[in-house]
Amino acid sequence: VNLLDRRSIQGKLTRILVVTVGTALLLAAAVLLAVETAKTSASIRRDLVTQADIIGLSSEAALTFNDPKVGEQNLRALSPKHGMVAAAIYDAQGRLFASVRFDSAQPQPPAVRPADGIAFGLQHASVVRPVLQNRERIGSVYILVRHGIVVEILQYLAWLVAVMLASLSGAILLLRRLQRGLTAPILDVSRVAQSVLDRGTFNVRAVRTTDDEVGRLVDAFNAMLDELGNRARVLREANEALSASEARYQLAAQGSSAGLWDWDLDNDTMFVSPRFKTALGYSDSDFPDRPSSLLGIVHPEDQSLLQAAIDAHLADASPLQAECRLRDVRGDWHWFLVTGMARRTAQGRPFRMAGSLVDVTQRKQSELLLHEANQAKDTFLATLAHELRNPLAPLRTGVQILKSPKAAPSTVQRTLETMDRQLTHMVRLIDDLLDISRISSGKIRLELARVSLRRVIQTAVDLGRPAMDAAGHSLSVELPDPDVPLQGDDTRLTQAFGNLLNNAAKYTPPGGRVRIRAWQEGQSAIVEVSDNGIGIPGDMLETVFDLFTQVNEGAERSPGGLGIGLFLVRSLVEMHGGSIAAASAGPGQGTMFTVRLPCVARVAAQDAGAREAVVERGVADEMRVLVVDDNIDAAETLSTFLEMTGMHTRMAHTGPAAVDAALDYRPDVVLLDIGLPGIDGYEVARRIRSRPEVSRVLLIALTGWGTEADQRRAREAGFDHHLTKPVDVGALDALLRQKRRQA
């Protein structure tokens, strides 16, 4: 593997050597050559001049005494061996005086003296020197030689080249031997680096063998390996910590119902956690990492809201929080709480947003239910006000009629019947409300006894008859025969069936047919109330029993109602261990309610006789009744009513007055209002009870509050009975009769 590297490094070194040494040698050779050439040239010149001057000196006499022979002899003295070609002497006038030619191939010396000085050609050199005598020129000497300097230079050059080649070869040989010390450590470093690359481990080291720069390179390389190893380890640890953190984060994300989203605004990609996709049933291919994936499943009605929330967040950095519906893969909508936060650059430009997606469908549904319940409550309250007000109008009118002296007795009678009916309706309404309240708070209690289903239904029919008559319905009653005995609270059962009958009368157009039937079926008593009224839509057969629910089938035909009757009925029936079901063929097809009650073993109906006696009307003579109410009108009307039934009455309007009147008048019965000025009804009752002379008096509380707590408080204060206002005259009458019998 390293052969190539070695060659490469050697090649470089050799090239460097050749270039540097070659350059140095060439430079030296050039300088040597130039110096040598100059030296040779100068030597040639010097020789020429010397020879010319010698010839001139020796030829001075020849010139002086005009002896060309001697001149020629002098010239002959020059040796042709030294490249001499020709020589000549010229007289003072420049004419040729004497000449010799050593090489016949060469031309003759010029006939006329050339100019003084040296003429240096490539092959020849010539000189002309004056011959002076007493500073007077008496002639000239001319010498022409073949100097051979070119050949000399070429020879010199050949020598130089030979020397250069020899030196270079020697240098290269030396380099080959010496460079091993330089390249071996470098190749070692290279080998270590290669092994680090190949194996990915940092535990190998190069060996330092020298103490020069290469040695320091090895040291630095090893230090770098140490550093790399450290960094790799730190990086690995950081990665492990990061993945642990990521795992924790994933666990937390999976543990919560929240999905996570991470929106890269610059690249317009959005990561959404797989858990969120799975929760909505999407696969990765359905849901690519794009913002459009998420925005695409937002409910169209919520998109502008979500966009506005995002815009607001980007504008003022308030936390992003929005609720919107998201579509799952089946097309169902789920409510999600979208929260998030944008990351911004130093310039404030948002480049990334991330946050969570929390499924809040259940909460939203609860909110929706709450909202609906709230709406039902509002509707109920509005209806309640309406329902309470309805009876007041005929009552007020009736009062006006009665006050009129011109009213005929028949008119008075009819008016009184109307008022009585309205009053009854109102009282039942309020009783129902109170019962609802008790049922809701679980405070209602059944006074269980053996009851007769026949009697219960009869009583209910009696109660419902006025409403039936008013609407012109025909009511058919089929009582169970033989009677069905039940374990129950006859008042409550009567209330339940009465409500069913009232309901039937109310939701059947005038002149309709209502039927009530009862029979025994195994261990169950069945009571069926059916009509041919407006019916119930199929989807409401269950909910019709819920509180505040009404069938709003055509508002103009709806007779209104509080939507509490059927709830009450079901609650009462279920308290008796029974069940109720509604059936209807649809709107306008009439309704049938079926009540099932568990029945007990048949026994002789002796209670019936006792009840018959109670129902029988008697005279309440000689009963002394004290009526206490701070509302004078109320006290007076009640007092008047009691006197009309043949009782003695006295009135009191304050607490202390009531106590005094009780002691003074010694009544059999005290009808005592609770909310009195001075001392309240409870205190009055306690004081009366504390006096032995009146301790046997029957104390009946009259309150606007009919809750269980009120009744208990009344009992604790010493009251025998508790009646809610307005007073049910029938109930009062029954109590008074009971008192009289005891007396």
Partner 1 sequence: VLIGWLAAICAVDAHGAVRESAIKAAYLLKFPNFVEWPAGTFGGAQDPLVIAVYGDDEVAAELEQLTASRRAEGRPVTVRRLREGEPPGKPHILYAAGPREMRARELLASATGPVLTVTDGPAESPDSAVLAFVVADGQVRFNASLTAAAAHNLRLSARLLAVANQVEGRP
Task: Tell me the closest approach of the beta carbon of residue 75 to partner 1, in angstroms.
Answer: 13
Q: Nearer to partner 1 by C-beta: 77 or 220?
A: 77
Q: Nearer to partner 1 by C-beta: 93 or 410?
A: 93
Nearest to 581 by CA among 523, 515, 530: 530
Task: Tell me the closest approach of the beta carbon of residue 132 to partner 1, in angstroms.
Answer: 11
Site stretch for partner 1 (CB under 8 A), options 31-39, 65-73, 375-383, 474-482: 65-73
Q: Nearer to partner 1 by C-beta: 131 or 429?
A: 131
Site stretch for partner 1 (CB under 8 A), options 3-11, 70-78, 420-428, 580-588: 70-78
Q: Nearer to partner 1 by C-beta: 131 or 501?
A: 131
List the one residue from 32, 70, 376, 446 that touches partner 1 (CB under 8 A): 70
Q: Nearer to partner 1 by C-beta: 54 or 153?
A: 54
> In 10 A of CB 91, how many CB atoms?
19
Site stretch for partner 1 (CB under 8 A), options 67-75, 285-293, 381-389, 729-737: 67-75
Task: Tell me the closest approach of the beta carbon of residue 58 to partner 1, in angstroms.
Answer: 6
What DSSP string describes 52-72? HHHHHHHTHHHHHTT-HHHHH
State how far the Cα of 574 lies from the Cα of 101, in Å rounded to an integer. 166
Q: Nearer to partner 1 by C-beta: 58 or 390?
A: 58
Four-point Cα dihedral 737, 739, 741, 743, nearest 10: -140
Q: Nearer to partner 1 by C-beta: 91 or 359?
A: 91
Interaction pattern, residues 389-428, with partner 1; x per rule: CB under 8 A: ----------------------------------------
- The CA-atom distances, in angstroms, between 302 and each of 112, 309, 323, 369 are 125, 11, 8, 20
State how far the Cα of 542 lies from the Cα of 536, in Å rounded to an integer. 10
Task: Tell me the closest approach of the beta carbon of residue 138 to partner 1, in angstroms.
Answer: 9
Q: In which element (H, E) is residue 451 found?
A: strand 449-452
Query: How many angstroms separate the most distant Cα atoms in the chain?
Result: 215
Contact between 523 and 484 under an 8 Å Cβ cutoff? The reply is no
Nearest to 453 by CA among 350, 526, 539: 526
Q: Nearer to partner 1 by C-beta: 67 or 720?
A: 67
* End-to-end CA separation in angstroms for the chain: 132
Decide if residue 67 touches partner 1 (CB under 8 A).
yes
Helices 409-440 and 361-403 cross at an angle (nearest 10°) of 160
Binding positions for partner 1, 107-146, rule CB under 8 A? 133-134, 136
Q: Nearer to partner 1 by C-beta: 50 or 303?
A: 50
Q: Nearer to partner 1 by C-beta: 64 or 245?
A: 64
Binding positions for partner 1, 254-293, rule CB under 8 A? none
List the one residue from 27, 31, 61, 368 that touches partner 1 (CB under 8 A): 61
Q: Nearer to partner 1 by C-beta: 134 or 203?
A: 134
Site stretch for partner 1 (CB under 8 A), options 35-43, 60-68, 391-399, 704-712: 60-68
Task: Tell me the closest approach of the beta carbon of residue 45 to partner 1, in angstroms.
Answer: 25
Q: Nearer to partner 1 by C-beta: 73 or 361?
A: 73
Contacts of 740 (CB under 8 A, 6+ apart): 620, 623, 668
Task: Tell me the closest approach of the beta carbon of residue 59 to partner 1, in angstroms.
Answer: 8
Burial 391-427 (b: 16+ CB within 10 A, else e): beebbeebeebeeeeeeeeeeeeebeebbebbbbbbb
Strand, coil or helix: 482: coil
Helices 409-440 and 565-575 cross at an angle (nearest 10°) of 60
* Gyration radius (Cα) of the chain, Å: 69
Four-point Cα dihedral 24, 29, 34, 37, nearest 10: 170
Q: Nearer to partner 1 by C-beta: 72 or 302?
A: 72
Q: Nearer to partner 1 by C-beta: 62 or 310?
A: 62
Task: Tell me the closest approach of the beta carbon of residue 55 to partner 1, in angstroms.
Answer: 12
Q: Nearer to partner 1 by C-beta: 53 or 728?
A: 53
Decide if residue 60 touches partner 1 (CB under 8 A).
yes
Task: Tell me the closest approach of the beta carbon of residue 65 to partner 1, in angstroms.
Answer: 5
Burial zone of 564 (CB within 10 Å; 0-12 exposed, 13-18 middle, 19+ buried) = buried
Binding positions for partner 1, 74-113, rule CB under 8 A? 74
Task: Tell me the closest approach of the beta carbon of residue 85 to partner 1, in angstroms.
Answer: 25
Task: Tell me the closest approach of the beta carbon of residue 119 to partner 1, in angstroms.
Answer: 28
What DSSP string describes 231-283? HHHHHHHHHHHHHHHHHHHHHHHHHSS-EEEEEETTTTEEEE-HHHHHHHT--
Site stretch for partner 1 (CB under 8 A), options 57-65, 237-245, 314-322, 619-627: 57-65
Task: Tell me the closest approach of the beta carbon of residue 76 to partner 1, in angstroms.
Answer: 13
List the one residue from 50, 66, 292, 413 that touches partner 1 (CB under 8 A): 66
Binding positions for partner 1, 24-53, rule CB under 8 A? none
Interaction pattern, residues 598-617, with partner 1; x per rule: CB under 8 A: --------------------
Decide if residue 733 touches partner 1 (CB under 8 A).
no
Task: Tell me the closest approach of the beta carbon of residue 146 to partner 1, in angstroms.
Answer: 29
Q: In which element (H, E) is residue 415 found?
A: helix 409-440
State how far the Cα of 734 lies from the Cα of 739, in Å rounded to an integer. 9
Alpha helix (H) residue ranges in 602-645:
606-615, 632-644
# binding residues, partner 1 (CB under 8 A): 15
Site stretch for partner 1 (CB under 8 A), options 66-74, 79-87, 288-296, 699-707: 66-74
List the one residue from 21, 57, 118, 600 that touches partner 1 (CB under 8 A): 57
Nearest to 531 by CA among 470, 468, 479, 469: 468
Site stretch for partner 1 (CB under 8 A), options 58-66, 106-114, 179-187, 292-300: 58-66
> In 10 A of CB 170, how many CB atoms?
11
Q: Nearer to partner 1 by C-beta: 74 or 724?
A: 74
> In 10 A of CB 173, how many CB atoms?
10
Nearest to 677 by CA among 646, 632, 713: 632
Structure tokens at 306: 């979500």
690: left (phi over 0), alpha (psi -120 to 50) or beta: alpha
Structure tokens at 36: 């040598």
Structure tokens at 139: 């002639």
Task: Tell me the closest approach of the beta carbon of residue 54 to partner 1, in angstroms.
Answer: 12
Q: In which element (H, E) is residue 366 found?
A: helix 361-403
Site residues for partner 1 per CB under 8 A: 57-58, 60-62, 64-67, 70, 73-74, 133-134, 136
